[in-house]
Amino acid sequence: MEITEKERLMLVKKKEIICGATLKILDMAHDPQNSLEIKKNVTTILSELNTIASYSDSKNYDLNQFTKGVNALFDLMSQEKKMKIWTLFQEA
């Protein structure tokens, strides 16, 4: 499948957005008070990955398993915040 230059540039921009959101998550991961912002950035990453996958030649771009993992991560983050522990993102 050939993509236009405009589409290619859009995909590069999506990749940059994913990178930026990932860096934000890494910067915030040490503090459980940032869990909402972390979730927002993970959701952004999922959205951008879905857009990128839609341009894939492969029909194997189903993100359901990845989304299930993200939902499990969100549940764990919520539980840890309620329990006032934050083992999910411990600093080295």
**Residue ranges of domains in the chain:** 5-83
Mean pLDDT of the chain: 83
User: How far is it, in rounded angstroms, from Cα 66 to Cα 72?
Assistant: 10
Could you read off the pLDDT of 6-40 as tens digits, one per residue? 999 999 999 999 999 999 988 888 887 888 899 99
Pick the residue with more confidence: 44 or 74?
44
Cβ neighbours for 14, distance < 8 A, ≥ 6 positions apart: 48, 51, 52
Give 31's Cβ-side CA count (13 Å radius).
7
At 34, the amino acid letter reads N
Pick the residue with more confidence: 2 or 43?
43
User: For residue 74, how many other CB atoms are within 10 A of its CB?
Assistant: 15
When pLDDT is cut at 50, 70 and 90, the band that residue 61 belongs to is low
pTM to 2 decimal places: 0.75
